[in-house]
Amino acid sequence: MEHNTRAAFIRQMLKDERSIEPSPEFSYKAHLKSRQDYDELYRRSLTDPDAFWGDMAERHLDWYRSWDAVEEYDFDAPRPFVRYFRGGQLNASYNCIDRHLDGPRRNKAALIWQGEPSEEVEVFTYQRLHREVCKAANVLKSLGVQRGDRVVLYLPMIPQLAIAMLACARIGAVHCVVFSGLSAEALKDRIDDSGARVVVTANFGYRSGKILRIKGVCDQALAECPQVKTCLVVRRIEKRTTMEPERDVWWDDLTATASPACEPERMEANEPLFVLYTSGSTAKPKGIVHGTGGYLLYATLTMKYVFDLKETDIHWCTADAGWITGHSYIVYGPLASGATSLMFEGVPNYPKPDRFWEVVEKFGVNLLYTAPTVVRSLMREGERWTCTHDLSSLRLLGSVGEPITAKAWLWYYSAIGQGRCPVADTWWQTETGGVMITTLPGAVDMKPGSAALPFFGVEPKVVRSDGTPAALGEPGSLVVTRPWPGMMQGVHGNEQAFKDVYFPTPGRYVTGDGAYCDEDGYFWITGRIDDVINVSGHRLGTAEIESALVSCAEVAEAAVVGCPHPVKGEGIYAYVTLHEGVVVSDELRIQLASHVREVIGPIARPDVVHFAKALPKTRSGKIMRRILRKIAAHQTEDLCDISTLSEPSVVADLIRENERLS
């Protein structure tokens, strides 16, 4: 589609608000070919979940021992729980690797790694991956790691991250991947909370042409974690690295002599596969625990149906493996399916804004799964970056991480997909393990901006604050009324949080997102309704940022809210009151923003630091965030009811300062 035709198409579509049918060519070859196919399976998944999941688990995974019960749960109990395939035994690494070695997949590329430097490419066939994972597993064992032990992986997007995850899975250890962009303090908190004694890291990493001191950050964290006895260091870049002789060992040295054979542990289906930390409405990030059997089945099935995965596809999920999207759709989903997964170390706009399209062309990528923030930023760069590349290999486009506007959706569909590829918007969370709401490609019509319909077994509902069902089109809180196999099993070391955060009212899992449902049963996600902000698809708890701010001596009180941002989706807007006598200055503004960056990581750096004389509070002393959000978004005409404010003049001051800042 030429630029002008496309611009007209987008304008027209935005006006018409029409839905788009999948192309007949796509549907003809898809796993699900029609709405009827979807309806049928969806109905079966709800009417007889035991038969449905049992059948799927037999067909899609290899088990050492079958299960005694398929689905058991209680959302109402004082200690809610969920279990799948009780008594069943399997190993995730066996399912991701070994079982593909007997047939033609043996020499198929499992993982293709593209480093940030264009010339750095590595291909791991299933056979090679098996060897590398076994060696790493034996190394972990030699360091004393046992079944059930947690291992923290603080690694950039290099193959050793996937290898280390699978090595943990192989020996029954629980990996806790910490995104390598997080700070030393954030890493330290996670190491402490996880109880890990072994940490795996890399000496350096690349980002946008710069060298990151990953080991340096890790050292800083480990200085305060005396319980960590060993740090295994991957040599990502040949460069002088300080090693702590008592603690640090090189990955290369140990794997070089390790045996390439390691028998996988037989894990009960509900033994934990991993813990992944995520932000919530509390200051402390929560370690989300996922089990083995249910999670792996859910990742595998969603991989197949949501991405319409075919044997010959090259699947590229552009997320970092340090987040759930990478866990499920770079590592576990694709590999358990015997697919080829592309792992990319770089960023979309370095060295030029066509890096993604260059990678798509270079490897002939078929399935591309990325985030709206990437789509928006590349849309801004204009089409001169896309039109010079051959994107004809693309078959399907996916989106995840935050709501995608109809405009960005239509650009993605028409400029990248050339109107040929279905776009699967996929709504889900760290807690849900895999995709929950999506347009099953090929089967159902797409509505730009809507995440569409529930995946098999998922029963979402929109409810009002009193718990009653919302009417069609009425926004409310998105809840899920029954379990699904990818569902989290708990919060690491904090049983109470599992109940308090996710089951505040009995009987339903609360997502923290707002949504409404239209007359066709399509879900439209409106964003978080709790104290979480979504910056470029990264979840940040406002409480976490506030606690970083108040840890500065100058700060008396802080309130952080999200504000609209053209590229990041949401930006971070921090209201700060200072102690008596502290002088307001731009230096202090920068100092506070940098402090948050230090404490949490670069993604958490506030976009705006607003010094306020006072914050708007209710008479009972609660900060009125609703008002702060409106001021940050310049929506001051409709501040609604401020009658409960203890000091109404505070608001006028805030509005004045906000206008000055913008």
AA identity, residue 551 = S
Q: For residues 331 and 337, is the Cβ–Cβ distance under 8 A?
A: no
Neighbours of 649 (CB within 10 A): 11
Q: Which of 451, 552, 612, 631 binds ligand 6R9 (CB under 6 A)?
A: 451
Residue 16 burial (C-beta neighbours within 10 Å; 0-12, 13-18, 19+): exposed
Output the smallest distance, CB 399 to ligand 6R9, in A: 6
Interaction between residue 430 and ligand 6R9 (CB under 6 A): yes
Interaction between residue 370 and ligand 6R9 (CB under 6 A): no
Which structure tokens are listed for 158? 């290099």
Q: For residues 273 and 292, is the Cβ–Cβ distance under 8 A?
A: yes
Only segment of 73-81, 192-200, 233-241, 531-539 that touches ligand 6R9 (CB under 6 A): 531-539
Angle at 105 between CA 104 and CA 111, to 5 degrees: 155
Q: Which of 401, 441, 490, 616 binds ligand 6R9 (CB under 6 A)?
A: 401
Q: Which of 428, 484, 503, 516 binds ligand 6R9 (CB under 6 A)?
A: 428
Residue 267 has φ and ψ, to the nearest 5°, of -105, 140
* Site string (454-493) toward ligand 6R9, x via CB under 6 A: ----------------------------------------
Among residues 451, 480, 449, the alpha carbon closest in space to that of 463 is found at: 480
Interaction between residue 285 and ligand 6R9 (CB under 6 A): no
Looking at 48-91, list the stretches that DSSP marks H as alpha helix, in order from N- to C-terminal side.
Answer: 49-60
Q: Is the peptide bond before 351 cis (omega within 30 degrees of 0)?
A: yes
Rounded distance, CA 152 to CA 564, Å? 34
Output the smallest distance, CB 319 to ligand 6R9, in A: 8
Interaction between residue 577 and ligand 6R9 (CB under 6 A): no
Q: Which of 19, 282, 377, 429 binds ligand 6R9 (CB under 6 A)?
A: 429
Among residues 73, 74, 168, 158, the alpha carbon closest in space to that of 116 is found at: 158
Sorted by sequence, the CB contacts under 8 Å of residue 35 that are 6+ apart come out as 443, 444, 445
AA identity, residue 90 = L
Which structure tokens are listed for 309? 């995965």
Rounded distance, CA 141 to CA 405, Å? 48
Neighbours of 76 (CB within 10 A): 11
Rounded distance, CA 278 to CA 297, Å? 22
Interaction between residue 27 and ligand 6R9 (CB under 6 A): no
Output the smallest distance, CB 277 to ligand 6R9, in A: 10
Interaction between residue 37 and ligand 6R9 (CB under 6 A): no
Interaction between residue 534 and ligand 6R9 (CB under 6 A): yes
* Site string (133-172) toward ligand 6R9, x via CB under 6 A: ----------------------------------------
CB of 345 or CB of 513, closer to ligand 6R9: 513
Q: For residues 410 and 15, is the Cβ–Cβ distance under 8 A?
A: no
Interaction between residue 528 and ligand 6R9 (CB under 6 A): yes
Output the smallest distance, CB 594 to ligand 6R9, in A: 25
The overall longest dimension of the chain from CA atoms, in Å, is 74
Only segment of 196-204, 333-341, 406-414, 424-432 that touches ligand 6R9 (CB under 6 A): 424-432
Output the smallest distance, CB 532 to ligand 6R9, in A: 7
Only segment of 201-209, 250-258, 507-515, 621-629 that touches ligand 6R9 (CB under 6 A): 507-515
Q: List binders of ligand 6R9 among 244-283 (CB under 6 A).
A: 278
Only segment of 23-31, 126-134, 396-404, 571-579 that touches ligand 6R9 (CB under 6 A): 396-404
Q: For residues 164 and 200, is the Cβ–Cβ distance under 8 A?
A: yes
CB of 133 or CB of 301, closer to ligand 6R9: 301
Only segment of 4-12, 215-223, 342-350, 401-409 that touches ligand 6R9 (CB under 6 A): 401-409
How would you write 341-386 as a 3-class SS string? Answer: EEEECCCCCCCCCCHHHHHHHHHCCCEEEECHHHHHHHHHHCHHHC
Give the containing element (helix H, strand E) for 190: helix 184-194
Question: How many binding residues for ligand 6R9 (CB under 6 A)?
Answer: 24
Rounded distance, CA 502 to CA 80, Å? 10
Q: For residues 549 and 592, is the Cβ–Cβ distance under 8 A?
A: yes
Q: Which residue is nearest to ligand 6R9 (CB)?
A: 430
Output the smallest distance, CB 323 to ligand 6R9, in A: 6
Q: For residues 162 and 111, is the Cβ–Cβ distance under 8 A?
A: yes
Q: List binders of ligand 6R9 among 305-334 (CB under 6 A).
A: 323-325
CB of 233 or CB of 440, closer to ligand 6R9: 440
Binding site for ligand 6R9 (CB under 6 A): 278, 323-325, 400-403, 425-430, 451, 511-513, 525, 527-528, 534, 537, 539
